[in-house]
Amino acid sequence: MASLRGRFLKGAGLAVLFGLGAVSAAQADYFERINTYPVYKTLPEGADKATETVAEIIYASKDGRTLAFTDSPGEAIVFVNATNPLNIQPLGRTDLGGEPTSVAVGEKAAYAGVNTSEDFVNASGHLAVIALADMGITATCDVKGQPDSVAISPNGKFVAIAIENERDEDLNDGVIPQAPAGHLAIFDLDENGAPTNCDAVRIVDMTGLAEVAPSDPEPEFVSINAKNQAVVTIQENNHLVIVDLASGDVVGHFSAGTATAENVPVKKARMSDASGTSENVRREPDAVAWIDDERFVTANEGDYEGGSRGFTIWNTKGDVLFDSGNQMEHMGMSHGHYPAKRAHKKGTEPEGVAVGTFGGDTLIFVNSERGNFVAVYKDTGGVPEFLQFLPTHVGPEGLLAIPNRDLFAVANEVDEDGVRAHISLYQFGVDAPAYPSLVSSRDEETGAPIGWGAMSGLAADPNDPNKLYAVNDSFYSTGRIYTLDISSKPAKITGYKNVTGASQELLDLEGISVASGGG
């Protein structure tokens, strides 16, 4: 079964399903989820296990054996021992006295951005330096505003922090500009990982760069390459900035532009049908990660007016080398992971990206925050090859590649209505994916995969052992009968019929059977 599934995923099936072109026969190995670890298990002894916990941004020590992640409601950085990835153990919590927004880990210390702002006008925060030896805070350095993303340079010489000074969404309908403006904060590190300019952070002014609200840049995410260049997304301003960290100079900047996703859900309805086009929408990139020293990838989640529902590969000149268009949308639809109730907003809402080398290949990971999945691509230098669809827990936020241990980690932040926040680990090296078990074929009428989910009743065709019929329940606006072909792995939804003639608005279809005379 596993080899058959692997041949299907490695062959032309994905090319037909997602329009990604031919997939090479000699493919990298696959990932398998091996652990989901609930954050509440890291609470102190005696604490109420119902206490809200979150895992948002995650990072690993150099040896990949210790994981650190932010727990915003707990105002702490949480450390866990992942020496045995199948048996994660809590190490401790470092209380920060404010909201952690991000964390990065160096050779001897972890670096956390801490938001202490009183309100949206009086923005404040600091960098907390945490010794890995005992998880104690050794320094707090003023960053002159409300921090968001934190990154450490590969050589351990710099820490860069995106100071967002985020807008008040309830003020003027959230329209920017709204002072104070954000900036990039830079700390220089000594050989022990201590900031040498803790009392005199270097500030990179980013006003006047973007076409959108140039007086109010709101940096969101930062990533650093081996040349000590930081790429910064200014999400609400729909702009990208490249900074030389040694000098603090802006060495490049450009608009993130717009993108179009055709044949995607856009109606305000509980269906995942490809009813329209998201046309010329601002990308408004969120997370960013370097692929190499000349190229990087952004997840175009959007915040204010945009969100192009995909991801983009850029070079440092600002050229778009690749844009995923409707691929993330169609993956969500085909795999039954489409967030139908949010289709009219930002669809699958790609938010996080990570890059790592596994099996000799550079892989790109892009998450769907609302669709609860990660799409894995192989970097080719040109059009990336889709490799695998990874299911996640609810609300994947932070992504982390740990190549030296053949691991990939996801921080899942949702902790509500009985669903607990988790960190999930995936191991690289299996011959074939265990997921999905069901996908849908392309709908000839829409040019997109058949949208599905919330499967309920199931019945076998008495005349065809490879055919099943299924129905969806009342989550969706329209009740449907789906036809399934189970002759291949994964099984395929090949068609559907809408159920009509009912008097009630939503049909809660729970069962289906085949009539004795057929039909």
Contact 163, 150 (CB under 8 A): no
CA separation for the pair 312, 328 (Å, rounded): 12
CA separation for the pair 68, 57 (Å, rounded): 8
Here the tokens at position 469 are 């019929």
Q: What is the mean pLDDT of residues 482-503?
A: 93
Residue 278 maps to a domain: no
CA separation for the pair 251, 245 (Å, rounded): 10
- Per-residue pLDDT, 21: 34
- Per-residue pLDDT, 105: 98
- Per-residue pLDDT, 26: 44
- Per-residue pLDDT, 373: 98
CA separation for the pair 151, 296 (Å, rounded): 15
Domain carrying residue 467: 454-498
Q: What is the mean pLDDT of residues 166-183?
A: 94
Contact 286, 398 (CB under 8 A): no
Residue 284 maps to a domain: no
Q: Does the pLDDT of residue 101 top 80, yes or no?
A: yes
- Per-residue pLDDT, 114: 98
pLDDT tens-digit series, residues 436-479? 999 999 998 889 999 999 999 999 999 999 999 999 988 888 89
**pLDDT confidence tier of residue 19, bands split at 50, 70 and 90:** very low
pLDDT tens-digit series, residues 258-295? 999 999 988 888 888 887 899 999 999 999 999 999 99
pLDDT tens-digit series, residues 204-246? 999 999 999 999 999 999 999 999 999 999 999 999 999 999 9
- Per-residue pLDDT, 10: 34
Residue 189 maps to a domain: no
Give the chain's domain count: 1
Q: Does the pLDDT of residue 56 top 90, yes or no?
A: yes
Q: Does the pLDDT of residue 12 top 50, yes or no?
A: no
Q: What is the mean pLDDT of residues 144-161?
A: 98
- Per-residue pLDDT, 1: 32
Q: Does the pLDDT of residue 16 top 80, yes or no?
A: no
- Per-residue pLDDT, 507: 85
Residue 170 maps to a domain: no
Written as one letter, the residue type at 116 is T
What share of the chain has pLDDT > 70, as a percent? 95
**pLDDT confidence tier of residue 24, bands split at 50, 70 and 90:** very low
**pLDDT confidence tier of residue 83, bands split at 50, 70 and 90:** very high
Residue 428 maps to a domain: no
Residue 220 maps to a domain: no
- Per-residue pLDDT, 18: 39
Residue 289 maps to a domain: no
Instruction: Say which range, 96-105, 342-351, 422-431, has the weakest mean pLDDT.
Output: 342-351
pLDDT averaged over every residue in the chain: 92
SS3 15: helix
- Per-residue pLDDT, 184: 98
**pLDDT confidence tier of residue 15, bands split at 50, 70 and 90:** very low
Q: What is the mean pLDDT of residues 294-311?
A: 94
User: What does 465-493 look like in DSSP terms, one character per residue?
Assistant: TTEEEEEE-TTSSS-EEEEEE-SSSSEEE
Q: What is the mean pLDDT of residues 332-350?
A: 90
- Per-residue pLDDT, 171: 93
**pLDDT confidence tier of residue 27, bands split at 50, 70 and 90:** low
Going from the C-alpha of 238 to that of each of 217, 219, 305, 433, 512, the distances in angstroms are 10, 10, 9, 36, 49
User: What does 265-295 look like in DSSP terms, one character per residue?
Assistant: --SSSS-----EEEEEEE-----EEESSSSE
Residue 65 maps to a domain: no
